[in-house]
Each structure stands twice: as C-alpha cells, then as structure tokens.
Structure 1
C-alpha cells in the first residue's frame, strides 16, 4: 500500500472546487484510495460527502493511501491537487 502525507495548501482547504477535483481524480482510478487526517479513520477518496465531512482546512496534513497498480501515480496526482494554493 502506497501512502502520501500532504499539507493542504488551498485557501479553502479540501472543500468546494478542490474537493470536487480530488474526488473526480480518485474516481477515475480503478484502485482503492482513502484519505484522512492523522489519528482519525480514513474515508473513501471517491466520496465527495466523505471528503467534505473530514473538514480539512488550509495548513492541515492529510494522509492519502492507495492500493493497486498505478497507486504511486494516482497519489502524486492527488497530492498535487491539494498542494495548489
């Protein structure tokens, strides 16, 4: 299982447009992907409601996990989405 710890740089956190882009990217991948805050249970990266419920804000760290072929590439794409200010 591949993992990335990323600081969310978006001024709105992982909400609205960044969340939609994040979920759309995750949904295209035919592998299991989860995201969460350290110390909290992860949620599906393919569920917009689950992502919004995490209440991830600017400057917070998230942990993204992916398992399967192409996991590293998908994690890089997802990390890039949340790293844009």
Structure 2
C-alpha cells in the first residue's frame, strides 16, 4: 500500500493512503503530541469530511485495538459481552 507523507510546517506530518474502496484516509501527527484522524470527502479528495482529534493515550489505545483486538481475558475485553 502506498502512503503519501506531507510535511505540514508548524503542524507536523500528514500520512495519507487510499483504501481498497477508494476512500482517502489520513493521519496527522502533530508536533504537540496529538493525532488527528481524517477522512476525505468521496467527491473531493482535498476536503476533510470527518476528523477526530486524539490525545496520546487515546492514540495508543486505538493502535492497540487495530493491531491486536483484545480477547476475553484481556483488560479491555471485560467491557465487551457477546450479544
């Protein structure tokens, strides 16, 4: 998968990629330690349709969930119950 890196002077670095479904997604790693997840509009890849700011601990939690979802014996697994 191809990831485009763009330096944002005074802000940080934006990493962007296109999903298999054609959506453009980005992660802005800010100099202040926060991270912004961005999803671009389907009809305008320059327009941010949705964004979520994450503090460092929130980013770490998201990374953990994306890399290895917790099982029933993991701490985060206790908050989930089978439906």
TM-score range, shorter chain: under 0.3
After TM superposition, the score normalised by the length of structure 1 is 0.26
Quick check: which one's strand share is greater? 2
Q: Which has the larger radius of gyration?
A: 2
Quick check: which one's helix share is greater? 1
After TM superposition, the score normalised by the length of structure 2 is 0.26
More RCO (CA 8 Å, sep 6+): 1
